[in-house]
C-alpha cells in the first residue's frame, strides 16, 4: 500500500536495543524525501538494506544513498572512522552506486583515531566490558567530553592534526603503560591499525605515520567535508529530510540501560542535536519496534530473553556456524525456550550486521517500549512481523515484578514483589526484573506476501491491537519482509 506523499520531515528511532530494521524503513521513507541525515553513532551500526534482491550493509553512510538523487548527510554527532568510511565508499562504488556529490560529512563530527581502538581493547578486557562492537565509539566520545577530541576537519590540516593528536595521546600513554609494550604491540597488529604501522616502541604511537595516513584519508574525503549544520539549517522548509537513528533508544547513553549502552543518544533529542537542528524540526517521529521477537547484542540485562542466561552465554561465545551444527533445524514451537530463541534467530537472520555475533532473542517487552514511547513519543512501526508466523503461541511481556534486593529509587523503594509497568532502564534495576507475560495465539499463516492491512489474518490484527494498547500509541506501519514492497501503511 502506498503512503500519502508528504514533504515534511520525519525521524526514525529504534525503540529497543538496536537492529529493529530501521534501515529498511528509512529506505522506504526516502522514496519521497530529499535528504537523509544520519546524526549519531559510527561504524558500530549496521543497516542492512535489500534493494531489487541485492543486499547492502551500511555502517556510516546514510541508508538513503541507495536512492539516486537524494542527498546524504553525516551529522556532527557522529563518530567517524575515516578508514572505515573510505572502505564503505569503495564497496558502494563496486556495487554501482553513484555516491559522488551525494554525501556531506560534518566538519565538526568526532574523529575516531587509532588510539581509540587501543583504548577500547584495554577497556573491554577489564571489568567495565560491555561487549562493545570494538569500533572505537566509547573512547572517541569520551575524548569529546574530556575536551581532547579531534574533529573531521582536522584531517584537512596536518599541523593541527599533529598538535591535537599529541595532546590526545598524553593521557593514553599513562593508561597503556599499565598494559605494557607487548600487549599494545599485539593489539596494534590489527588490520584496523594498519598491521602495526602506527606502533612505536617509543611512546606506543608513531605520530608521523598516523598523521601521514590520516591526512591521506583527508585528501580522499575532502569533497565530503563541509559545515552540515549550516547546510541543514538552510534546507529547513525547502527540502524534506529523514533523520536516521542508529542503534536503539534503550542503548542511549542518556536514557538507556546504563552502563550497558552505547556512547551517544539515539533518541529524538540526540538525533536532532547531532543534525545541528532544533528538536521541533524533527517532524513526524516513527518509533520502530521489532515484534513478536526483540533482540539484543552484547552484554546487559534482557528480561524477556528466550532461554535466559543460557542464551546470553551461548551468544557471547559462539558464532552462527557453531549454532548451525548444534541446532541443524531448530523448532520455533519447541518447549525449550533456548531452542525457540535459536529458531527465531535463524528465521530472522538475527546475526550482527557489524560483528556477525548471534543476537540474543526475546519476547516483545511492553515496559521497555513504553519507556521509549514516553521519551520519544511518535507513532509506531512494527518490523519483522512475518518472522514468527509459524509460532503457535506468542508471549508479550506486559510488566515486570522486581525480584532484587531492596533499593531506594528516589522517593520510592523497590523491594521483592514490586510491580514495574514502565521499564527503569538502569542495570541495577533491570537486572532483577522478572517479566510477566500474556499469551496470544499465533496467526500460523505466512504474511510475507500480504501487503495490505485488510489482508492480514485476524489473529495478527488482534496482536497488533494489543501492542497499541500496551504501548499507548497507534501502529501506523508494519514491515512484513526485508524488501521495500513488504510494507503495510495504515
Ligand atoms: P559500542 O556502541 O560499540 O560502544 O557498544 C556498546 C553496546 O551497544 C554493546 O552492547 C553493543 O553490542 C551495542 N551496540 C552498538 N551498536 C549497535 C547496533 O547497531 N545494534 C545493536 N547493538 C549495538
Alpha carbons within 13 angstroms on the beta-carbon side of residue 10 total 23
The position carrying cell 567517524 is 80
Which atom of ligand 1 has the smallest separation from the CA of 135?
Answer: 3
Which atom of ligand 1 has the smallest separation from the CA of 120?
Answer: 4
Exposed, middle or buried, 228 (CB in 10 Å: 0-12/13-18/19+)? Answer: buried
Pairing relation of β-strands 393-402 and 360-365?
Answer: parallel
Report the pLDDT value the prediction gives residue 301, as an integer from 0 to 100: 97
Secondary structure of the chain: what % helix, strand, coil (to 5)? 35, 25, 40
CA nearest neighbour of 403 among 431, 426, 366? 431
Which secondary-structure segment (H or E) carries 230? Answer: helix 228-235
Which of 18, 38, 305 has most ligand 1 atoms within 8 Å of its beta carbon, as the pocket-test mutant? 18
Indicate which residue's Cα is closest to atom 5 of ligand 1.
Answer: 132
Report the pLDDT value the prediction gives residue 1, as an integer from 0 to 100: 40
Indicate the SS3 state at residue 85.
Answer: helix
Task: List C-alpha distances in Å: 475 to 136, 280, 439, 472, 480.
Answer: 36, 22, 20, 10, 14
Low-confidence ranges of the chain (pLDDT < 70): 1-7, 49-50
**Could you confirm whether 19 is annotated as catalytic?**
yes
Give helix 158-179 / helix 207-221 axis angle, nearest 10°. Answer: 130
Which of 84, 251, 253, 348 has most ligand 1 atoms within 8 Å of its beta carbon, as the pocket-test mutant? 251
Report the pLDDT value the prediction gives residue 7, as an integer from 0 to 100: 64
Which secondary-structure segment (H or E) carries 407? Answer: strand 407-409
> Cα of 261 to ligand 1 centre, how many Å?
7
Report the pLDDT value the prediction gives residue 5, as an integer from 0 to 100: 47
Q: Would the CA dihedral through 414, 418, 422, 423 be positive or negative?
A: positive
Q: Could you tell me the three cell numbers for 389?
A: 508466523
Spot the catalytic one: 27, 47, 143, 229: 47
Q: Could you tell me the three cell numbers for 5?
A: 506523499
Give the separation between CA 136 and CA 134, rounded to whole angstroms. 6
Q: Could you tell me the three cell numbers for 201?
A: 616502541
Report the pLDDT value the prediction gives residue 127, as an integer from 0 to 100: 86
Give the separation between CA 177 and CA 168, rounded to whole angstroms. 15
Q: Could you tell me the three cell numbers for 409?
A: 529509587
DSSP for residue 357: P
> Cα of 413 to ligand 1 centre, how many Å?
31
**Could you confirm whether 47 is annotated as catalytic?**
yes
For ligand 1, residues with CB inside 6 Å are 17-19, 44-46, 130-133, 135, 137-138, 247, 251, 260, 262-263, 297-299
Report the pLDDT value the prediction gives residue 6, as an integer from 0 to 100: 52
Strand partners, 400: 420, 435
| CB atoms near residue 271 (< 10 Å) | 29
CA nearest neighbour of 268 among 373, 144, 424, 145? 373
Strand partners, 151: 110
Indicate which residue's Cα is closest to atom 21 of ligand 1.
Answer: 18
Task: List C-alpha distances in Å: 306 to 166, 340, 356, 403, 435.
Answer: 48, 7, 20, 19, 11
Give the separation between CA 148 and CA 34, rounded to whole angstroms. 35
Residue 486 CA from chain centroid, whole number: 22
Give the separation between CA 343 and CA 346, rounded to whole angstroms. 5
Task: List C-alpha distances in Å: 253 to 44, 110, 148, 151, 399.
Answer: 14, 16, 20, 21, 23
Which secondary-structure segment (H or E) carries 79? Answer: strand 71-80
CA nearest neighbour of 77 among 300, 281, 246, 316? 246
Report the pLDDT value the prediction gives residue 252, as an integer from 0 to 100: 97
Give the separation between CA 135 and CA 82, rounded to whole angstroms. 12
Q: Could you tell me the three cell numbers for 3?
A: 503512503
Query: pTM of the prediction?
Result: 0.94
Indicate the SS3 state at residue 414.
Answer: strand
For 253-311, where are the E strands, in sequence order? 284-290, 293-296
CA nearest neighbour of 3 among 401, 477, 340, 374? 477
Kindly report the length of the chain.
490
Amino acid at each position: 500500500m502506498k503512503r500519502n506523499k508528504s514533504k515534511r520531515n520525519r525521524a526514525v528511532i529504534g525503540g529497543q536495543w538496536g537492529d529493529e530494521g530501521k534501515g529498511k524503513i528509512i529506505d522506504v521513507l526516502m522514496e519521497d524525501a530529499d535528504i537523509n541525515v544520519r546524526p549519531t553513532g559510527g561504524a558500530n551500526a549496521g543497516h542492512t538494506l535489500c534493494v531489487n534482491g541485492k543486499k547492502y550493509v551500511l555502517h556510516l553512510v546514510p541508508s538513503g544513498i541507495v536512492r539516486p538523487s537524494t542527498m546524504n548527510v553525516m551529522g556532527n554527532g557522529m563518530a567517524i572512522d575515516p578508514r572505515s568510511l573510505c572502505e564503505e565508499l569503495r564497496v558502494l562504488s563496486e556495487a554501482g552506486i553513484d555516491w559522488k556529490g551525494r554525501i556531506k560529512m560534518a566538519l565538526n563530527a568526532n574523529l575516531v583515531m587509532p588510539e581509540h581502538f587501543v583504548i577500547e581493547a584495554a577497556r573491554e578486557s577489564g571489568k567495565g566490558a560491555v561487549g562493545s562492537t570494538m569500533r572505537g565509539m566509547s573512547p572517541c566520545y569520551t575524548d569529546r567530553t574530556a575536551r581532547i577530541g579531534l574533529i573531521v576537519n582536522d584531517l584537512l590540516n596536518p599541523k593541527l592534526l599533529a598538535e591535537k593528536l599529541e595532546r590526545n595521546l598524553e593521557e593514553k600513554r599513562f593508561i597503556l603503560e599499565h598494559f605494557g609494550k607487548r600487549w599494545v604491540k599485539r593489539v596494534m597488529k590489527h588490520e584496523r591499525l594498519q598491521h602495526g604501522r602506527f606502533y612505536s616502541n617509543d611512546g606506543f604511537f608513531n605520530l608521523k605515520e598516523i598523521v601521514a595516513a590520516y591526512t591521506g584519508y583527508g585528501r580522499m574525503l575532502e569533497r565530503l567535508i563541509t559545515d552540515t549544520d549550516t547546510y541543514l539549517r538552510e534546507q529547513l522548509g525547502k527540502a524534506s529530510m529523514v533523520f536516521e537513528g542508529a542503534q536503539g533508544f534503550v542503548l542511549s547513553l542518556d536514557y538507556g540501560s546504563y552502563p550497558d549502552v552505547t556512547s551517544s543518544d539515539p533518541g529524538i533529542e540526540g538525533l536532532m542535536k547531532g543534525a545541528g537542528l532544533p528538536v521541533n524540526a524533527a517532524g513526524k517521529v516513527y518509533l520502530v519496534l521489532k515484534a513478536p521477537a526483540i533482540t539484543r547484542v552484547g552484554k546487559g540485562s534482557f528480561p524477556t530473553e528466550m532461554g535466559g542466561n543460557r542464551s546470553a552465554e551461548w551468544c557471547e561465545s559462539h558464532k552462527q556456524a557453531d549454532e548451525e551444527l548444534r541446532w541443524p533445524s531448530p523448532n520455533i514451537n519447541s518447549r525449550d525456550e533456548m531452542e525457540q530463541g535459536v529458531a527465531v534467530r535463524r528465521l530472522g537472520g538475527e546475526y550482527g550486521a557489524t560483528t556477525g555475533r548471534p543476537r540474543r532473542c526475546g519476547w516483545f517487552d511492553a515496559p521497555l517500549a513504553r519507556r521509549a514511547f514516553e521519551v520519544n513519543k511518535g507513532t509506531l512501526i512494527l518490523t519483522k512481523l512475518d518472522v514468527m508466523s509459524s509460532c503457535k503461541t506468542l508471549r508479550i511481556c506486559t510488566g515486570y515484578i522486581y525480584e532484587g534486593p531492596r533499593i531506594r529509587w528516589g522517593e520510592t523503594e523497590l523491594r521483592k514483589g514490586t510491580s514495574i509497568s514502565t521499564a527503569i532502564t538502569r542495570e541495577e534495576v533491570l537486572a532483577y526484573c522478572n517479566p510477566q507475560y500474556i499469551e496470544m495465539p499465533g496467526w500460523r499463516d505466512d504474511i510475507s506476501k500480504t501487503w495490505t492491512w485488510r489482508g492480514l489474518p485476524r489473529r495478527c490484527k488482534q496482536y497488533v491491537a494489543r501492542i497499541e494498547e500496551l504501548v499507548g500509541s497507534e501502529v501506523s506501519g508494519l514491515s512484513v519482509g526485508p524488501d521495500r514492497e513488504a510494507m503495510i501503511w495504515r
